[in-house]
């Protein structure tokens, strides 16, 4: 967090199998006992260490969900130097060669549990401290349970059946905790319980920017309840939508909306710039930093591969928007999405955007050859900035990157990154969660103004989308839904509109695949996408989504081995 000191604890044990072992007789220079650590000052450091896991990132298994939610959804291609460059991401994108022994899945699992262990460590020490000695004890406990729930939420989306370990479980007992001790729904209930405690305990405002507060917890509780409401069987089929959970989603999101603490930024672009981060729209964000006393700062390593190959940057051309995604931003003469035939005409050039109605969120989300890069009219994105356009096309992602002259930009040769925050929850998400819950409750008329407010903001977010002459870089036409005039607002139509709106609003942010799985439409949607897209991109020739398997990653084989076969593999693997 920018206003908090990060604590880095690195423990290294080296065992050298040599005949000379005199080094083993050396006494350690300093040892801290549990009692010494269980002081308010040191426990506070443990709390900060748990927060730091939000930014303990690496491009091979990033905290950013783009490889897991964009590549697997049809919104993005892997990019980079062909299919063998970080081939694990190619496996994610095509599903065909996914296996349970992929090392990056194992390391992703491991990193999430390292983060959980930090929260558990802090909680165990907080429990041992008298509140009279540490007045913030209950607030810090709520923060740690909020963070722990976040890490478990991410694991749940990726792997479904996970072992749930809290601070009451002794380390030596970890080996006896099964990943099927709780059913999938019971795991959701455990995560919901964590967020509920945090929402009931945290203050409205917490001391430093980035610390969890009541409204972050209420928002995340709503998100967890929304996911849990779509109940799945063992084969990952959605078998029921829980109306009670949806009703609570509506109530919680209404509280957040009515709190007056948050709102939509006037310009959509303000969600993706360093100079406007922590805005009124940002509810929960990873607080990145630079020049903070560490070697490279708390940079956004998750986006480190996603810059172009031009001289101003230099590497590495990953995370490229799909043709299907770009086409989906087309609108009709009423400014509404072209639900049925959006994919019959390709958008590729600046002229294409000037001759066809488009949603301006396209230019906020995707770099297109011949158009300004990241709102700089004099900095024109070119096809040769891509690493292998002959494989992955000429589009790139825009939201996570910054301009090379941004004060937040930093090169970490041969890569580059920035200290720009990454939003985990924004206000626009809260509005659309409420809309989704209302539609599934049969209250679609109440969802209409929420969806329209998002579309109105999109229509007004064109000021930065201009060329050097100040002219618009696209024929931007976005209309609101007006029942009886330009649409018939039935429940089915409202559901289609909501799902489309989520794709437009959060394009290239890594959420799409998890939406598809939640709605129970991943197999049908993705195999339809592959049928067309493989005719455009050779690397997708063998791509295929296998229903009742590919909704989740396999439990990593290494973890099953470590558990001495206690862990049970997900269905279909």
CATH number at 343 reads 1.25.40.390
Q: What's the full length of the chain, in residues?
A: 573
**Exposed (0-12), middle (13-18) or buried (19+): which is 571, by Cβ within 10 Å?**
middle
Ranking 6-10, 31-35, 519-523 by mean pLDDT, the lowest is: 6-10
DSSP string, 344-412: GS---SHHHHHHSEE-THHHHHEE-TTSEETTEEEEE--GGGSS-HHHH-S-EE-TT---TT-TTEEEE
Q: Number of structural domains, the chain?
A: 1
CB 358 within 8 A of CB 477: yes
| Integer angstrom CA distances of residue 44 from 51, 125, 140, 168, 408 | 11, 10, 8, 19, 28
Residue 372: inside a domain? yes
DSSP class of 58: -
φ and ψ at residue 411, rounded to 5 degrees: -90, 135
Closest CA to 320 of 507, 458, 107: 507
Q: Is the pLDDT of residue 25 over 70?
A: no
458 falls within a domain: yes
| Number of Cα atoms under 13 Å in the Cβ half of residue 347 | 31
Buried b (16+ CB within 10 A) or exposed e, 313-351: bebbbbbbbbbbbbbbbbbbebbbbbeeebbeeebbebe
Residue 293 has what pLDDT? 80
Q: Are 418 and 410 in contact (CB under 8 A)?
A: yes
∠ Cα 151 134 294 (to 5°):
55
Would you say residue 9 has pLDDT above 50?
Answer: no
Q: What is the pLDDT of residues 206-228, one digit of tens each?
A: 989 999 999 999 999 999 999 99
Q: pLDDT tens digits, residue range 308-367? A: 999 999 999 999 999 999 999 999 999 999 999 999 999 999 999 999 999 999 999 999
What is the value of pTM for the model shown? Answer: 0.93
Q: What pLDDT score does 298 carry?
A: 86
1 pLDDT above the threshold of 50: no
Q: Which residues pair with 418 in a beta bridge?
A: 409
Whether residue 354 lies inside any domain: the answer is yes
Is residue 388 included in any domain, yes or no? yes
In a domain, 442, yes or no: yes
Q: What is the DSSP string of 298-361?
A: B--GGGTT-S-SSTTS----EEEE-HHHHHTTBB-TTS-B-TTTGGGS---SHHHHHHSEE-TH
- Residue 511 sits at φ, ψ, to 5 deg, of -100, -15
Domain that holds residue 398: 301-510
What is the distance, to the nearest Å, from the Cα of residue 566 to the centroid of all Cα atoms in its chain? 30
Tens of pLDDT, residue by residue over 477-521, are 999 999 999 999 999 999 999 999 999 999 999 999 999 999 999
* Residue 500, C-beta contacts closer than 8 angstroms, at least 6 positions apart: 328, 337, 339
- Rounded to an integer, the average pLDDT of 379-392 is 96
**105 vs 93: CA distance, rounded Å:** 14
Position 19 pLDDT exceeds 50? no
Residue 45's pLDDT is what? 93
**pLDDT tens digits for 59-97?**
999 999 999 999 999 999 999 999 999 999 999 999 999
Checking if the pLDDT of 28 tops 80, the result is no
Element (H, E) at 247: helix 243-258
Question: How far lies 406's CA from each of 27, 68, 319, 401, in Å?
Answer: 49, 28, 21, 10
Helix (H) or strand (E) holding 423: strand 422-426
Mean pLDDT of 436-456: 98
Residue 271 lies in a domain: no
Q: For all residues of the chain together, what is the average pLDDT?
A: 93
CB 391 within 8 A of CB 85: no
Please give the DSSP secondary-structure letter assigned to residue 136. T
User: Do the domain assignments include residue 479?
Assistant: yes
Domain assignment of residue 390, yes or no: yes
**DSSP code for 472:** B
């Amino acid at each position: 967090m920018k206003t908090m000191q990060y604590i880095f604890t690195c423990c290294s044990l080296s065992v050298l199998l040599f005949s000379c072992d005199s080094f083993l007789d050396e006494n350690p220079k300093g040892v801290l006992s549990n009692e010494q650590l269980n002081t308010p000052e040191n426990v506070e450091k443990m709390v900060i260490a748990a927060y730091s896991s939000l930014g303990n990132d690496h491009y091979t298994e990033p905290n950013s969900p783009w490889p897991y939610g964009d590549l697997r959804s049809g919104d993005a291609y892997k990019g980079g130097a062909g299919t063998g460059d970080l081939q694990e991401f190619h496996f994610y994108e095509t599903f065909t060669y996914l296996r349970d022994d992929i090392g990056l899945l194992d390391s992703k699992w491991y990193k999430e549990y390292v983060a959980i262990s930090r929260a558990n460590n802090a909680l165990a020490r907080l429990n041992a401290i008298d509140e009279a000695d540490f007045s913030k004890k209950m607030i810090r406990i709520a923060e740690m349970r909020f963070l722990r729930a976040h890490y478990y939420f991410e694991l749940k989306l990726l792997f479904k059946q996970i072992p749930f370990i809290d601070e009451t479980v002794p380390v030596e007992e970890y080996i006896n905790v099964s990943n099927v001790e709780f059913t999938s729904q019971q795991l959701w209930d455990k995560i919901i319980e964590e967020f509920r405690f945090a929402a009931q305990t945290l203050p409205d405002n917490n001391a430093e920017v980035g610390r969890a507060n009541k409204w972050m917890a209420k928002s995340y509780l709503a998100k967890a309840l929304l996911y849990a409401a779509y109940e799945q069987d063992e084969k990952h089929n959605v078998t029921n939508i829980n109306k009670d959970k949806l009703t609570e989603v509506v109530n919680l999101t209404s509280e957040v909306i009515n709190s007056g603490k948050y709102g939509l930024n006037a310009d959509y672009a303000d969600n993706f710039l360093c100079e406007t981060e922590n805005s009124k729209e940002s509810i929960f964000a990873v607080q990145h930093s630079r020049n903070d006393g560490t070697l490279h700062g708390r940079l956004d390593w998750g986006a480190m591969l996603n810059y172009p190959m031009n001289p101003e940057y230099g590497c590495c051309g990953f995370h490229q928007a799909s043709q299907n995604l770009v086409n989906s931003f087309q609108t009709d003469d009423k400014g509404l999405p072209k639900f049925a035939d959006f994919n019959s005409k390709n958008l590729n050039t600046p002229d294409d955007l000037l001759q066809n109605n488009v949603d301006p969120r396209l230019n906020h989300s995707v770099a297109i050859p011949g158009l300004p890069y990241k709102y700089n009219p004099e900095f024109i994105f070119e096809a040769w900035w891509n690493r292998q356009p002959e494989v992955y096309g000429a589009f790139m992602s825009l939201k996570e990157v910054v301009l090379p002259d941004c004060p937040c930009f930093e090169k970490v040769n041969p890569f580059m990154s920035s200290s720009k925050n990454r939003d985990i929850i924004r206000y626009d998400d809260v509005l659309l969660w409420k809309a989704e819950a209302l539609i599934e409750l049969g209250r679609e008329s109440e969802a209409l103004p929420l969806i329209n407010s998002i579309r109105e903001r999109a229509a007004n977010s064109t000021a930065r989308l201009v060329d050097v002459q100040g002219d618009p870089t696209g024929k931007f036409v976005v209309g609101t839904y007006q029942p009886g005039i330009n649409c018939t607002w039935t429940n089915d139509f409202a559901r289609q509109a909501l799902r489309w709106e989520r794709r437009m609003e959060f394009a290239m942010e890594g959420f799409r695949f998890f939406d598809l799985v939640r709605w129970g439409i991943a197999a049908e949607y993705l195999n339809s996408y592959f049928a067309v897209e493989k005719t455009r991109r050779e690397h997708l020739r063998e791509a295929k989504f296998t229903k009742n398997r590919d909704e989740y990653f396999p439990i990593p084989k290494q973890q099953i081995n470590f558990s001495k076969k206690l862990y049970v593999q997900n269905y279909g693997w």
